[in-house]
Amino acid sequence: MSLLKLGELYKAVILEHAQQPHHHGQLPDVPGLTLNNPTCGDVIKVQLDIQDDQIQQIAFSGTGCTISQASASVMTDVLAKQSPAQAKALIHDFSQLVMGDEIDVTAKKQLGDAAVLGAVAEFPTRIRCAMLAWHAADQLLDELGGTPNEQES
């Protein structure tokens, strides 16, 4: 793919997810974790409902720049219905990609639209924006330990 087409795809994915974010909102009685990026004022809360070793529901809320909001949106699409172990692997792959490291074709395919965000590696100051929600999800997975959420039916 030419650099021009990649740039256009990057812009289209970012704008689509920033303007119409997926899984945006709050999940009642579901554990969450809030992180912020003081550099540009982003604040993102990620919530995960893990049942039967699978992320059954995922949501994010908060405010921030276009990149942080778009990245959170694509992250929710990527991590939904994954096991905690699969989610951790995808978070790692995304982190490698936005840091400018190569990842294999299979990993890129699994990341879907999120793989396009690898272009932020060219803009080091924006890496934090792209990673904020992913860091929150990663830390929340660690806190939850892959165990089912304690919820009343």
Token pair of 15, please?
Answer: 């704008």
- pLDDT: which is higher, 31 or 11: 31
Residue ranges and CATH numbers for the domains of the chain are: 3-144 (3.90.1010.10)
Q: State the Cα–Cα distance between residues 72 and 134, nearest whole angstrom.
A: 7
pLDDT at 17: 85
User: Which residues partner with 36 through β-bridges?
Assistant: 43
Say which residue, 138 or 14, is predicted with more confidence. 138
Main-chain dihedrals φ then ψ at residue 28, nearest 5 degrees: -60, 140
Cβ atoms 68, 54 nearer than 8 A: no
